[in-house]
Amino acid sequence: MNTVHPVELFIEVRCEEIPARFVAPAMEGFAAGLGKLLGNLLVGEVRVFSTPRRLAVAAMVIRARPAVQKVITGMPLAQAKGADGEWTPAALGFARKRGGDASALFEHNGFAAIRSVEGGESADRVIAAGLEALILGIPFKKTMHWGTSPARFARPIHDVACLLDGSLVVAQVAGIGTCAHSVGHWLLSPESFPVSSADAWLGHLRDLGIYADRAERHQRVGAQLTAAAEAAGLRIEADADLLDEVVNLVESPRVVLGHFPMELLKLPPRLLIESMKVNQRYFPLFGADGLTNAFLVVTNNPQGNPELIAEGNGRVLAARFHDAKFFYAEDRKRPLARHAEKLGGTVWIRGLGTVAERQAEITTAAIRLSGTTGADPGNLRALGGVLKADLATLMVGEFPELQGHVGHLLATAEGYANAIAIEEAWLPRHSGDKLPSTPEGLGFALAERMTLLSRCFTAEMEPKGSADPQGLRRAAVGLVALVLALPGEAGSLGELYAEAGVPLPATLAEFVVARLRAVLLAEGHPTDLVEAVMAVGGSDIRATAARVRGLAALPKDELSAVRTTFRRVAGLAREHRSAAYALDLLQGHAEYHLHVAVKALPSADRPATEMLDALRRLRPVVDHFFDEVLVMCDDLPLRANRLGLLRSILDRFAGFADFTRLGGE
């Protein structure tokens, strides 16, 4: 038997519909688990296949590791054999430890020795023994019991096919014996068929209209969606997350075009779109004038009746939207101010007051910040009175993701100025999201986050570990983005909080600064620049960002030179306490030039751009100084003088960056 020539291992777990979001991590875990089980029996990569009803892997494996006979030597013969020529107890112990007895011992180059066989485990034994643990060990976000089986899996397992080189590997998984066949679509081709290899299996399924290769299915669904939209003379908006989810919901994709009643287009488009995407996983279709009443649904039945399926899906939307229409009509019977009256009876966060109080607190802070945001205090007062009113509407009760949007629409209908600010108070929703377009929106968004963070930190409700029920991390990231977008120069956290009249606990300031670090790193700036700048304090958000971004924007060569030069300055002078130096000890041109350049440096409190320009102008002067002058000379007064000169550079830039943290390239 050729034990080294690799053969194919194929495993398919067939089960009831696995939740779409479970699939990707499960397949990663399945492949990793297989690698771990096989160890060096595995040759090359593990291929993974998945549909909602099947999780499969294929890999090339060596049938068996070649068995190698080894001679293991023990103690010298002097200790291994007694005067009588018999093996000593020590030698017998050595043999026993390796699974032998006196008969296995022999003499080898003056030592007692024993033969041992290593390797030789066969792949089918390893697989048979480890299959159940491998499959039941596939990681899922949630697992369950079924029947009376003690096993847990994402959903009940029906069958497990396990083949090595086309032959069944006999094993049990959750009380089910392995098999050497597969089945097609539960409805269209439920008959079983024998499996010989992964490619034959994949091909057979493809003939049955099942695309078990996820990437291939993804590509097919995408192409079908585009083609169907084009055929209808409309377009879909790219939505990678939705597409990813839908691909994991079907194994035999077929796109069907559906419509909902035209009159329902009068409802807010965002509601229609969210409802189609989130609740139904449809792709809304857009025309020249925006949203249309057409949509695409990805079905799992390529032989279904498209008219019937389209009609059914359209009916579902109509039902859902009729309810929304009812809510919307009910909500519009009363002005927002009336809805707002209910907020006094709604608890915001247990122990932190009502939503009405929360609304007032945000409004007060937003008005106090209007000098910075440029918002109109009158508008803020008017909008602030109904800022959270939509929380009391039926529409938001039913579609919570529309909070803000419904308030905006109702306030617009009532003629509030800049009503969009009610919705913009929620911006940015995630990092990279758009920012408020109106000064009132900016004011509310800023006040919302500043007060939320302040209240929670004051009440010692800061996030612990991964628990962040109030979304404070996201709020802080949003706050950073908003501060960076403020008009004018303002950007210091302390000053903003003082202006808003809101307390800023020290722990909160640190928390926000930590988020600023994350934001800057997420922008792709080199870590050493972020660290060097933030080491000298980052609570002036805007200045910190300007320093990092300014440095990172330098041409590559210049940035590299800046790093080298100023890291050297810091390396030499950081332990030197005094920035004093005497003019009469300056020797030569280079030293004197540096002194003149240092004197011309702006004071440390100047804006980042000015400091950066000064840094760039200073750099060649310092380089020249290093070329010409030996700082660490033997003449100690002279050395101290030169270190003083360098130290004065560090001091001028003390508020700009800690040069010792600059890295290499």
Q: By CB under 8 A, name the binding residues for another protein.
A: 16-17, 19-21, 52, 142, 144-148, 155-156, 158, 186-188, 249-250, 256, 280, 282, 297, 299-301, 303-305, 308-309, 311-313, 315-319, 322-323, 326, 342, 345-347, 350
Helices 608-628, 556-573: axis angle to 10 degrees equals 70
Integer Cα distance of 497 and 500 in angstroms: 5
Integer Cα distance of 597 and 586 in angstroms: 14
Q: How far is the CB of 356 from another protein (least distance, A)?
A: 12
User: 295: helix, coil or strand?
Assistant: strand
Q: How far is the CB of 40 from another protein (least distance, A)?
A: 38
Whose Cβ is closer to another protein: residue 326's or residue 592's? 326
Whose Cβ is closer to another protein: residue 223's or residue 308's? 308
Q: Which two tokens stand for residue 664?
A: 């290499």
Q: How far is the CB of 270 from another protein (least distance, A)?
A: 20
Q: How far is the CB of 495 from another protein (least distance, A)?
A: 35
Whose Cβ is closer to another protein: residue 260's or residue 626's? 260
Integer Cα distance of 574 and 631 in angstroms: 14
Whose Cβ is closer to another protein: residue 19's or residue 137's? 19
Integer Cα distance of 48 and 223 in angstroms: 22
- Where is 575: in which H helix or E strand? none
User: Helices marked H in 103-248 — which ranges?
Assistant: 123-136, 198-207, 214-231, 240-247
Place of tokens 């270190």: 643
Give the C-alpha distances (Å, rounded to integers) separating 132 from 41, 162, 164, 183: 18, 11, 16, 21
Q: Which two tokens stand for residue 423?
A: 């919705």
Q: Which two tokens stand for residue 226?
A: 């585009």
Nearest to 449 by CA among 344, 314, 541, 577: 541
Q: How far is the CB of 262 from another protein (least distance, A)?
A: 15
Q: How far is the CB of 323 from another protein (least distance, A)?
A: 6
205 Cβ contact list (under 8 Å, min separation 6):
182, 184, 211, 212
Please, what's the b/e burial string for 181-214 (b: 16 or more CB within 10 A of its CB; e: otherwise)?
ebbbbeeebeeeeebeebeebbebbeebbbbbbb
Q: What letter does residue 275 receive in the DSSP assignment?
A: I
Whose Cβ is closer to another protein: residue 172's or residue 305's? 305
Whose Cβ is closer to another protein: residue 248's or residue 438's? 248
Whose Cβ is closer to another protein: residue 246's or residue 365's? 246
Q: How far is the CB of 345 from another protein (least distance, A)?
A: 6
Whose Cβ is closer to another protein: residue 317's or residue 579's? 317
User: Helices marked H in 208-305 — which ranges?
Assistant: 214-231, 240-247, 269-274
Q: Answer yes or no: are the C-beta atoms of 134 and 37 closer than 8 Å.
A: yes
Give the C-alpha distances (Å, rounded to integers) separating 411 from 67, 373, 404, 408, 497: 80, 22, 10, 5, 29
Q: How far is the CB of 187 from another protein (least distance, A)?
A: 6
β-sheet bridge partners, residue 236? 285
Whose Cβ is closer to another protein: residue 95's or residue 340's? 340
- Where is 542: in which H helix or E strand? helix 541-552
Give the C-alpha distances (Å, rounded to integers) separating 158 from 27, 175, 183, 194: 18, 10, 11, 16
Q: How far is the CB of 349 from another protein (least distance, A)?
A: 9
Q: How far is the CB of 494 from another protein (least distance, A)?
A: 34
Whose Cβ is closer to another protein: residue 352's or residue 654's? 352
User: 76: helix, coil or strand?
Assistant: strand
Q: How far is the CB of 367 from another protein (least distance, A)?
A: 27
SS3 per-residue string spanning 472-532: HHHHHHHHHHHHHCCCCCCCEHHHHHHHHCCCCCHHHHHHHHHHHHHHHHHCCCCHHHHHH
Q: How far is the CB of 508 from another protein (least distance, A)?
A: 25
CB-count exposure of residue 262 (10 Å: 0-12, 13-18, 19+): exposed
Whose Cβ is closer to another protein: residue 89's or residue 190's? 190
Nearest to 365 by CA among 503, 502, 505: 502
Q: How far is the CB of 384 from another protein (least distance, A)?
A: 22
Whose Cβ is closer to another protein: residue 52's or residue 428's? 52
Nearest to 23 by CA among 46, 52, 47: 52
Whose Cβ is closer to another protein: residue 350's or residue 434's? 350
Q: Answer yes or no: are the C-beta atoms of 264 and 293 closer than 8 Å.
A: yes
Q: How far is the CB of 569 from another protein (least distance, A)?
A: 59
Whose Cβ is closer to another protein: residue 223's or residue 319's? 319
User: 95: helix, coil or strand?
Assistant: helix
Q: How far is the CB of 264 from another protein (least distance, A)?
A: 12
Whose Cβ is closer to another protein: residue 20's or residue 170's? 20
